[in-house]
Amino acid sequence: MMPPDYQDSSLRFLFEKADIRGEWVHLGPALQTVNEAHGYSECVRQLMGQFAAAVVLISNNLKYSGKIVLQARSEGPLSLVMVECTSKSEIRGIARGDTDSIAETPIDLIPNAQLAITIERDGGQRYQGIVPLDGDSLATALDHYFLQSEQLHTRFWLFSDGNVASGLMLQQLPSQIQQDPEDRKKQWQEAEVLAETITADELFDLAPSEVLHRLYHEQSILLFEPQQVEFNCSCSRERSLSALSAIGVDELEEMLTEQPTIDMTCEMCGTSYRFNRSDLLGLAESPVLH
């Protein structure tokens, strides 16, 4: 079992004698909270775990306040899988479609999907990249995405059993330490080949220092302090009331005629908010609701 200090955390590391950086993540209770509001099958929970681990690994590059959204849209059993992570390492997510479905591998639930990575800066700036989710795994699709978008060799290893999820990412940096192209190529290939030996059990159970020692005991690795990851949904009573303000006054009046209250439930976390007539009095510029 993962040591308590590393439950729900991510960590950055650097190769001190090579232009390679890395990220490690382990999710437990935070992932379970993402999934618990929904009756997902085990296979869907596994896929959500892979997406959650991946988006945390990607978001560790954020140098500003905002969030990254990783989502896939498909015409398969699941029409949407989406997990987001903020620059404060807060995650939430959802799957839509036949969430009771199972498959031989989780990625089979979203065949021929389009994978989108959206960067949203607080204040409105937004960037989105979209690629086909081809290959046999989410990790493979992300490898291709980063090679195309950033022109840097990048590899992901993602594992989830539905209750916990762990991941590892390696990325070759622009040349600083090593200038010779052949030496850079050799360093990257060695790091990549060794990482291929990692197992799900090792990433589920071992502290990052032990994982990296097993993989790279002949290398000098600099580990940064772990950062806690937690579930947090941005929904609120105020946001729900604001959403109701977009509904026409006549429609609200009709709804309140049929029932004394209007209930809104957040599809992300399952939290319900109840509003009565007095709550809705200020929504319209003219006091129609009375």
Q: What is the mean pLDDT of the chain?
A: 91
Which residues sit opposite 160 in a β-bridge?
Answer: 165
Which of 231, 246, 261 is a domain's end point?
Answer: 231
- Rg (C-alpha) for the chain, rounded Å, is 22
User: Which CATH number characterizes residue 225's domain?
Assistant: 3.55.30.10
Over residues 86-104, mean pLDDT: 95
Sequence-ordered strand ranges (E) for 16-153: 20-27, 66-73, 78-86, 90-97, 114-121, 126-132
Return the minimum-mean-pLDDT range out of 14-23, 243-252, 276-285. 276-285
DSSP secondary structure code for residue 286 in this structure: S
What's the confidence (pLDDT) of residue 143? 93
**What CATH number is associated with residue 255?**
3.90.1280.10
Cα 160-165-170 angle, rounded to 5 deg: 100
Which of 195, 211, 231 is at the close of a domain? Answer: 231
Q: Is residue 189 part of a domain?
A: yes
Query: By three-state DSSP, how is residue 254 classified?
Result: helix
- How far apart are alpha carbons 79 and 98 in whole angstroms? 8
Count of domains forming the chain: 2
Q: Are strands 66-73 and 114-121 parallel, antiparallel or unpaired?
A: antiparallel
Q: Is residue 195 part of a domain?
A: yes
User: The tokens 């159970």 sit on which residue?
Assistant: 205
Residues 29 and 53 in one domain: yes
| 32 and 162 co-located in one domain | yes
Shared domain check, 157 and 15? yes
Residue 113 pLDDT > 50, yes or no?
A: yes
Give the C-alpha separation, 4 to 226, whole Å.
Answer: 12
What pLDDT was estimated at residue 64? 78
* Same domain, residue pair 204 and 261: no
Alpha-carbon dihedral 145, 150, 153, 157, rounded to 10 degrees? -40
Answer positive or negative: Cα dihedral of 227, 231, 235, 236: negative
Residues 225 and 247 in one domain: no
Q: Which pLDDT score, from 0 to 100, does residue 290 have?
A: 43
Segment 43-88, tens digit of pLDDT:
999 999 999 999 999 998 777 789 999 999 999 999 999 999 999 9
pTM of the model: 0.90
Same domain, 134 and 252: no
* pLDDT > 50? residue 185: yes
Residue 154: inside a domain, yes or no? yes
pLDDT for the residue 116: 95
Residue 286 resides in a domain: no
What is the helix (H) or strand (E) element at residue 38, kind and residue range?
A: none
End-to-end, the C-alpha distance of the chain in Å comes to 58
Residue 187: strand, helix, or coil? helix
Same domain, 57 and 151: yes
**Same domain assignment for residues 179 and 273:** no
**Containing structural domain, residue 8:** 4-231
Question: What three-state secondary structure class fits 280?
Answer: helix
132-181 pLDDT per residue, tens = 997 789 999 999 999 888 788 999 999 999 999 999 999 999 999 999 99
164 closest CA partner among 19, 42, 11: 42
Widest pairwise Cα distance in the chain: 76
Do 33 and 148 contact (CB within 8 A), yes or no? no
Query: What are the angstrom distances between the C-alpha of 232 and each of 90, 154, 253?
Result: 5, 28, 33
| Identity of residue 50 | Q
- For residue 111, is pLDDT > 90? yes
Predicted pLDDT of residue 288: 41
Mark whether 176 and 261 lie in a shared domain.
no
At 202-225, the pLDDT tens digits run 999 999 999 999 999 999 999 999
Contacts with 271 (C-beta within 8 Å, 6 or more apart), sequence order:
233, 235, 265
Asked, for residue 171, whether it belongs to a domain, the answer is: yes
Q: Could you write out the DSSP letters of every residue in 129-170?
A: EEEE--SSSHHHHHHHHHHHHH-S-EEEEEEE-SS-EEEEEE
- Do 89 and 150 lie in one domain? The reply is yes
Q: pLDDT band for position 286 (50/70/90)?
A: very low
Q: E strand or H helix at 260, and its extent? A: none
Q: How confident is the model at residue 289 (pLDDT cuts 50, 70, 90)?
A: very low
Average pLDDT of 226-238?
A: 92
153 in a structural domain: yes
What whole-number distance in Å separates Cα of residue 38 and Cα of residue 16?
A: 44
Residue 266 lies in a domain: yes
Q: In this structure, are 143 and 244 located in the same domain?
A: no
Q: Is residue 287 part of a domain?
A: no
123 with 165, same domain?
yes
- Of 68, 78, 237, 83, residue with least CA distance to 146: 68
